[in-house]
Structure 1
């Protein structure tokens, strides 16, 4: 696994189409309107949030060293899309792992189809792009019912390629770059002869802080890395009223974007506790308690300006197998007969991500690729110090549904 110095960010994205705004120019936000869910939709969302938190935690557990930056939302949507090709225990195992075990395939698909347009409308100042595509070896027979599901529910493009052509990876990578505004330029460097189908999901987010940081207040200072050494990095500073919560283990601050539909939640572990231990102790009940406990407080925020990229490489299959999806990766047991009558199994699940945080806001992107192989071959009146000068967690979420788009464990800067 590649060693990276940086942080671990977790991102989940639901969606099948996109909004594209090419400029960083600040827009006037339209008043936020909460996304209203039916009782059934809320139950599906609650289950998907369990996967988002558990996936982040298990990826942190799998990480050997350095930083982690992932998109659980991108992973969840890509895996949910290809679950439509599974049959029997393969499909049921994938649904259960993703949090949809108690729901039908149609309910899962309908939920994604509903949620993405709602997320895109949540804040007119946020540039949110979601794209999906299937890449099929040009001679390989794929069932029309499978491609119809990808198109109808996930707005996926269906593309046939000559996998023997050494330029085919360039076609897939160009799609990745286009749909992440150039942030993710490569997801695959070659195609092994055993592969017959790839599925890709791209997620792009760009938002201005509701209260931007003044560059004149930014200055260098020490960041205490998890490895023990101290780095001199640039910190952004401001005093503002934010939603805040603290207990014996953690201090939280929520930094909103635009009209406050989306926000970044930074979780700073208490002195003496590592960010990794905090991440490994996280579960959905703790997350919900954190979100319900936030209250307005005047904070003096000192936040790192940073940029990093991450590649999961070979981490995701072991994690997803531990979480209950192992049958999908087993050449002898996997059943994807709803994709093709020719036996297939998932031989690749990989994600590349990137994030940039500065005085104006946040830009983040993720691409998830799944490859199928043949089976043979209370506010204090004084500002509360919230100084993010040691390892921490961060989460980017939508306000009314609580949908987590990104989350991170930052250990090294």
Structure 2
């Protein structure tokens, strides 16, 4: 008997900032935002951020010192879609691994619905679009509760098509292209297998301008010290302004806000006496020091223009942190997704691209799941913070505390 496979492909991009246009949907009032935020479960936000850090650790420790970047939000949302179709021990294991203990499926779906609404709320300085879709093989019966949850809680587009042909491959790629503002143009390089039963996709697109942009006139070439002690020349952007800032003898941390401040880039720089490796050990153990509100301080910040391109298979790292049954053909249980049997996850791909410049950052993330048949007073002197050595960053929503993207820069 052919086994049905679930292939998960996760792609995320952060690209150079350009002019930002407001979303078509009307902005929420402050009261509406407050009400929406009250429906978001802090436990699920914490679980999502924790998952991101666990995966980040696995990827860093198994890597060769390259830049690493993932989208915890995109990964968690895609897995939540798949979780809606899981059952039995597979569902129990996913719950434990993803940190959803004591969270009902209904509460998880309600949380994701409200978080999507909050994150998608328009702002003159930020554009953040989130989209989901479910592509079902024509003739395959998918269960209505699964499809209804995908539509109602995740606002997913539902398609029923012949999946294993070039025409459908092009349609899926075009959907991804459309919902990432043409930044991700190809999630499928080849037509799907005839065994493919469904494709589940999450797409997130972010375009944010700095609340306080860097002047290109202040950008100059400076040295960046790599992990091995060698140096490379980078274009160092500079400005002095009041930002949320914290420091210890081991690290400096700053939040650079986007737009009206609803989103920000959190940056953590290890001290010269420490290292990114030592910092990450502390971060993986307990991220709470960097999830607190920082006091305002005048900072002379030096931030290099930098780019990251990253692509990684996540199947092994998810197995390493405890999600095993979902990948095993003989035991995986996704019977709440379809009446078809022997569904399992065969692959999870994640691809990211990041570019940061004087204006800000533009970002997109796509997660696809293929179900196969088979300001305060300034101090006298500003604090100096120059990112001329490896550092950690996260793009976060300041109200929900969700880390939409996170990563480590070892070579700009």
Query: What TM-score bracket applies, with the shorter chain setting the length?
Result: 0.7 to 0.9
Q: Kindly provide the CA deviation profile for residues 315-345 of structure 1, in whole angstroms up to 9, marking residues without a partner as x.
A: x111111222111111111001111222210
CA 1:232 to 1:123, structure 2 compared with 1: closer, same or farther past 3 Å?
same
**C-alpha contact (below 8 Å) 1:210/1:260 kept by paired residues:** yes
- Distance of 1:160 and 1:62 partners within structure 2: 39
CA 1:183 to 1:250, structure 2 compared with 1: closer, same or farther past 3 Å?
same
Cα distance, 1:103 vs structure 2? 0.7
Q: Which moved more, 1:396-405 or 1:101-110?
A: 396-405
- After superposition, where does 1:97-246 map in structure 2 within 5 Å? 97-121=97-121, 123-190=123-190, 191-246=192-247
User: Which position in structure 2 is the counterpart of 1:364?
Assistant: 363
CA 1:280 to 1:134, structure 2 compared with 1: closer, same or farther past 3 Å?
farther
User: Which position in structure 2 is the counterpart of 1:7?
Assistant: none
Cα distance, 1:227 vs structure 2? 4.2
- After superposition, where does 1:303-314 map in structure 2 within 5 Å? 303-312=303-312, 314=313
Q: Which runs of 5+ in 1 are unaligned?
A: 1-9, 13-21
Q: Kindly provide the CA deviation profile for residues 279-312 of structure 1, in whole angstroms up to 9, marking residues without a partner as x.
A: 243247x322223262211111111112332222
Report how many aligned residue pairs link the two structures: 390
**C-alpha contact (below 8 Å) 1:250/1:267 kept by paired residues:** yes
- Distance of 1:166 and 1:40 partners within structure 2: 40
Cα distance, 1:226 vs structure 2? 2.3
Q: TM-score under structure 1 normalisation?
A: 0.86
CA 1:157 to 1:275, structure 2 compared with 1: closer, same or farther past 3 Å?
same
Cα distance, 1:170 vs structure 2? 2.2
User: Which position in structure 1 is the counterpart of 2:290?
Assistant: 290
Q: TM-score under structure 2 normalisation?
A: 0.87
- Distance of 1:228 and 1:173 partners within structure 2: 42
1:251 aligns with 2:252: yes
- Distance of 2:162 and 2:297 partners within structure 1: 58
- After superposition, where does 1:28-43 map in structure 2 within 5 Å? 35=34, 37-38=37-38, 41-43=41-43
Cα distance, 1:93 vs structure 2? 1.5
Match of 1:328 among 326, 329, 348: 326
Q: Kindly provide the CA deviation profile for residues 335-369 of structure 1, in whole angstroms up to 9, marking residues without a partner as x.
A: 01111222210112222222221111111111112
User: Which position in structure 2 is the counterpart of 1:271?
Assistant: 272
1:300 aligns with 2:300: yes
- Distance of 2:281 and 2:175 partners within structure 1: 35
Question: What is the RMSD of the two structures over their aligned residues, measured on CA atoms?
Answer: 2.8
- Distance of 1:49 and 1:72 partners within structure 2: 6
Q: Which runs of 5+ in 2 are unaligned?
A: 1-10
**C-alpha contact (below 8 Å) 1:129/1:179 kept by paired residues:** yes
Cα distance, 1:31 vs structure 2? 10
User: Which position in structure 1 is the counterpart of 2:390?
Assistant: 391
CA 1:98 to 1:379, structure 2 compared with 1: closer, same or farther past 3 Å?
farther
SS in 1 for 2:381: coil
- Distance of 1:402 and 1:276 partners within structure 2: 24
CA 1:320 to 1:210, structure 2 compared with 1: closer, same or farther past 3 Å?
same
Q: Kindly provide the CA deviation profile for residues 55-97 of structure 1, in whole angstroms up to 9, marking residues without a partner as x.
A: 3333333333411121010000010011010011111221222
- Distance of 2:389 and 2:57 partners within structure 1: 19
**C-alpha contact (below 8 Å) 1:74/1:202 kept by paired residues:** yes
Cα distance, 1:30 vs structure 2? 11
User: Which position in structure 2 is the counterpart of 1:405?
Assistant: 404
Cα distance, 1:272 vs structure 2? 4.2
**C-alpha contact (below 8 Å) 1:70/1:366 kept by paired residues:** no
**C-alpha contact (below 8 Å) 1:208/1:360 kept by paired residues:** yes
**C-alpha contact (below 8 Å) 2:48/2:73 kept by paired residues:** no
SS in 1 for 2:290: helix
Cα distance, 1:400 vs structure 2? 2.2
Cα distance, 1:42 vs structure 2? 3.0
User: Which position in structure 2 is the counterpart of 1:16?
Assistant: none
Structure number with higher relative contact order (C-alpha < 8 Å, ≥ 6 residues apart): 2
